[in-house]
Structure 1
């Protein structure tokens, strides 16, 4: 049996359940990323790819 995935909501999201937000989870060495309004669409980026995405979004692009 698979253990349930425990999703963590972005700190930029409001507290209401109805807010669309980005959620992250981790199972073993795998990261999971989804948007709360489409929870069936889950991405599993590498840690390096996710780090690059976050740096880009923050305007800290790495060369």
Structure 2
């Protein structure tokens, strides 16, 4: 996956440190923006969507 992106809320004032995500048709990968060449976590798209929706409700 090479379409990595991070939140528009991540900026210079925040130290520019956050997670980045990349989508494929069936999965979402997550990595640390400070260490992009290290390990990534990969989730099925449906599971990641459910996770994000749960976060929005809190």
- Bin for the TM-score computed over the shorter chain: 0.5 to 0.7
- What CA RMSD, in Å, does the superposition of the two structures yield over aligned residues? 2.4
Pick the structure with more helix per residue. Answer: 2
- How many residues are paired up? 56
TM (normalized to structure 2)? 0.67
* Structure 1 runs not aligned, ≥5 long: none
TM (normalized to structure 1)? 0.64
| Structure with the larger RCO, 1 or 2 (CA within 8 Å, 6+ apart) | 2
* Structure 2 runs not aligned, ≥5 long: none
